Amino acid sequence: MDYVTFGRTGLNVSVMGLGCGGPSRIGQSADKGDANSIAIVRTALDAGINFFDTAEAYRTETLVGQALQGVDRDSFVISTKKSYRSEISPALVRQGLEESLKRLQMDYVDIYNLHGVGPQDYPMLRDEILPTFFQLRDEGKIRFIGVSEMFNEDKEHQMMVDSFPDDVWDVAMIGFNILNQTARTQVFPGTIKQNIAVQIMFAVRRALSQPDKLREAVQQLVDAGQVDPAEFDAADPLGFVLAESDATSIVDAAYRFCRYEPGVHVVLSGTGNPAHLQSNIDSLCKPPLPDGVVQKLRHLFRNASAVTGQ
Ligand SMILES: NC(=O)c1ccc[n+]([C@@H]2O[C@H](COP(=O)([O-])OP(=O)(O)OC[C@H]3O[C@@H](n4cnc5c(N)ncnc54)[C@H](OP(=O)(O)O)[C@@H]3O)[C@@H](O)[C@H]2O)c1
């Protein structure tokens, strides 16, 4: 496994983080059983992954906590999140963190995130809720303050753009992939300037792991006038990537495309499948795709913002 310094946190983290939410929720969404989920976390740890992302909303904190029991607390980084959409207040933040800590069986979290923040809610969260996050940091219950975007609704990262002047985040979870590269201009210049640590979600998701979903997503971009159909083979839009590189699959290419994007620190990978976990670890430790392929992907999707790869 390769490691990087995680922006202004100074943490030394693996370039691959295990995402314990997403469509798979470490196998919980497919009812693969708790033992399988715990084994996914342990296998990741044994492979050198030291970054684990979960959230109260994923209902995987308990399993992550069980899997990490007995492991030296200084040797891994836990990121979890507070939901706010149904109800939020300073008291609910404190209560939410206490409940997360109990489920994780830990006495602090490394990164505590506001979960899925939309631009419409950012000013209220900054003024009414973030002061409690700062207090919790001062009390040592959280080490760093993070945010995750609501990428499916905020496909061009308006929340991040709005928040840059306040410089409040230590860590940001950003949607970025081959099909939506808008973070390159909208987000990464700002995070690089403020040395905000960046973790990537949606690197693969469904559109880059399922050929029929890929065709659908590309058709959506054609319909939106954001890609030129003359530049694609509609039946196999990313076929050239496999033909012109050593990538073993579109998933392999998609993770590598994200890992080497300037401004990216950690790429999250979410799976409940042990074979997928191993191949994703291999992918994220491989060298970059050939520059010609990367440039072609940048060119083809330069105006694409209508899809997230969901
Ligand atoms: N707003 C938010 O806060 C937010 C939103 C989304 C995600 N997240 C976080 O980001 C993490 C990553 O999310 P993501 O879902 O976007 O992850 P991802 O790694 O881009 O995609 C995961 C999907 O790809 C499939 N997959 C993974 N490896 C594969 C392989 N080698 N071959 C074929 N299919 C493969 C998984 O299914 P299998 O189980 O079958 O492998 C799953 O359906 C989440 O776990 C969560 O921690 C946060």
Q: 280-296: per-residue pLDDT in tens?
A: 999 999 999 999 999 99
Q: Pick the closest to residue 121 from 147, 92, 139, 142 (CA basis).
A: 147
Give pLDDT tens digits for 138-154.
Answer: 999 999 999 999 999 99
- Closest-CA residue, ligand 1 atom 7, reads 22
Q: How far does the centroid of ligand 1 lie from the alpha carbon of residue 203, in Å?
A: 8
Our mutation pick for probing the ligand 1 site, out of 61, 200, 209, 259, counting the most ligand atoms within 8 A of Cβ, is 209
Residue 235 CB coordination number (10 Å): 8
Residue 202 CA to ligand 1 center (angstroms) comes to: 6
Q: How many domains does the chain have?
A: 1
> How many Å apart are CA 179 and CA 192, to the nearest integer?
22
Q: What CATH number did the domain enclosing 119 receive?
A: 3.20.20.100
Q: How confident is the model at residue 1 (pLDDT cuts 50, 70, 90)?
A: very high
19 lines ligand 1 (CB under 6 A): yes
pLDDT at 143: 98
Residue 306 included in any domain: no
300 assigned to some structural domain: no
**Contact 188 CB / ligand 1 (< 6 Å):** no
Query: Which ligand 1 atom minimizes the distance to the CA of 149?
Result: 1
Indicate if the pLDDT at residue 232 is higher than 90.
Answer: no
* Residue 96, ligand 1, Cβ within 6 A: no
To test the pocket of ligand 1, the residue of 20, 24, 115, 171 to mutate (highest count of ligand atoms within 8 Å of its CB) is 24
Q: Let me know if residue 299 belongs to a domain.
A: no
The total of other beta-carbon atoms located within 10 Å of residue 159's CB is 24
The pLDDT of 70-82, averaged and rounded, is 98
- Residue 303 is assigned to a structural domain of this protein: no
Rounded Cα distance between 166 and 89, Å, is: 21
Tell me, what's the pLDDT at 175? 98
**pLDDT at residue 292 in the model:** 97
pLDDT in tens, 163-218: 999 999 999 999 999 999 999 999 999 999 999 999 999 999 999 999 999 999 99
Which residues have C-beta within 8 Å of that of residue 259, sequence separation ≥ 6?
15, 267, 284, 288
| Ligand 1 pocket check for 44: Cβ under 6 Å | no
What was the pLDDT predicted at 234?
82
Report the C-alpha gap between 183 and 185 in whole angstroms: 5
- Please report whether residue 92 resides in a domain: yes
Is ligand 1 within 6 A of the CB of residue 115?
Answer: yes
Average pLDDT over residues 242-265: 98
Sorted by sequence, the CB contacts under 8 Å of residue 21 that are 6+ apart come out as 53, 54, 55, 57, 58, 60, 270
Most ligand 1 atoms within 8 A of CB, residue of 112, 173, 204 to mutate: 204
- Is 97 within a domain? yes
SS3 track for the chain: CCEEECHHHCCEEECEEEECCCCCHHHHHHCCCHHHHHHHHHHHHHCCCCEEECCHHHCCHHHHHHHHCCCCHHHCEEEEEECCCCCCCHHHHHHHHHHHHHHHCCCCEEEEEEEEECCCCHHHHHHHHHHHHHHHHHCCCEEEEEEEECCCCCCCCHHHHHHHHHCCCCEEEEECECCECCHHHHCHHHHHHHCCEEEEECCCCCCCCCHHHHHHHHHHHHHCCCCCHHHCCCCCCCHHHHHCCCCCCHHHHHHHHHHCCCCCCEEEECCCCHHHHHHHHHHHCCCCCCHHHHHHHHHHCCCCCCCCCC
> Structural domain of residue 144, as residue ranges?
3-210+251-292
Q: By the 8 A CB rule, do 195 and 272 touch?
A: no
Residue 245 maps to a domain: no
Whether 58 is a known active-site residue: answer: yes
In a domain, 229, yes or no: no
The residue-averaged pLDDT of 234-257 equals 96
Ligand 1 atom with minimal separation from the 276 CA? 31
How confident is the prediction for the chain on average, in pLDDT? 97
User: What is the predicted pLDDT for the residue at 235?
Assistant: 87
